[in-house]
Amino acid sequence: MIFCSRILRQMQKRLLVAFDFDHTIVDDNTDIVVREMLPKEKISSEISDLYSSDGWTVYMGKIFELLHQNGITREEIQTTIRDIPITPGFDNLLKFLLDKDCETIVISDSNSEFIKEWLKGASLEHTIRSVFTNPAKYDSEGCLHIDMYHVQDWCQLSTKNLCKGYILENYVNNRKEEGIDFARTVYIGDGKNDLCPCLKLSANDFAFPRKGYALMKYIYEHPVKAAIHPWNTGEDIIGVISKLL
């Protein structure tokens, strides 16, 4: 019986915590911060129009090309990313979740290079199990290239390159197939594209919209089943989650 109960505990995780990245873990937007390395006059109206015609990911791909063409190096971009401040209390939150053996993932419309670089610079890469985002890589000349995470047409709440609700649902199902069942799921975010994963949560789960950001408005306009806990800092979230463990 002791052996069986130990196996059962190993198969059950108390908590899955899914994070957005921009304006959630970091207190800014990684793409905007890097775009601001370019003088505004370098961004033509033709490139600006790509956002509305082809989407943000295609637009940022052109921004990365412009950065390279204007002599802005990989190292300068990496330094800029590392210098983005963490959202207050999120270092404590990530370490708290790690200490409590919670499983943590990031689902973000940023890109793999930015998230990897920031987590490494903050010495927090060990606190995140998996990152789901637009894949990116530098070529041999130091130009950053980005691809869409996927191309979707089934979710009208999401951009065509990233449905966060689909990713969250798949992750939970895949972990279940691997023998890991979560007692609860928590989603922490700030933006309109964080609404879809919140709608995937059950009445047993928790949604944390950041106060003063778009998700706060949209989450109350839709039938979210999860308990809703607005937050200002990571300490606010620790205060709620600590009561679940």
Per residue in 2-21, pLDDT tens? Answer: 444 444 454 567 899 999 99
Distance CA 51, CA 82 (A): 26
- Between CA 151 and CA 140 the distance in angstroms is 27
Residue of 20, 194, 205, 236 with catalytic role = 20
| Superfamily of chain region 2-241 | HAD superfamily/HAD-like (3.40.50.1000)
| Active site annotation includes 22 | yes
Specify binding-site residues for Mg(2+).
20, 22, 190
Give residue 8's pLDDT: 47
Q: In percent, how much of the chain has pLDDT > 70? A: 95
Rounded to an integer, what distance in angstroms lies between the CA atom of residue 193 and that of residue 213? 12
139 is catalytic: no
Q: What is the pLDDT of residue 11?
A: 58
Dist. CA 119–CA 82, nearest whole Å? 8
Name the binding residues.
20, 22, 31, 109, 190
From the CB of residue 3, how many other CB atoms can be counted at a distance below 10 Å?
7
22, 194, 205, 236: the active-site residue: 22
- Summarize pLDDT for 20-31 with one digit per residue, the tens: 999 999 999 999
Block means of pLDDT (10 residues each) for the chain, 245 residues, are: 47 87 99 96 91 91 97 98 99 98 98 99 98 99 98 95 98 97 98 98 98 98 98 99 93
Max intra-chain CA distance, the chain: 70
Binding residue ranges for substrate: 31, 109
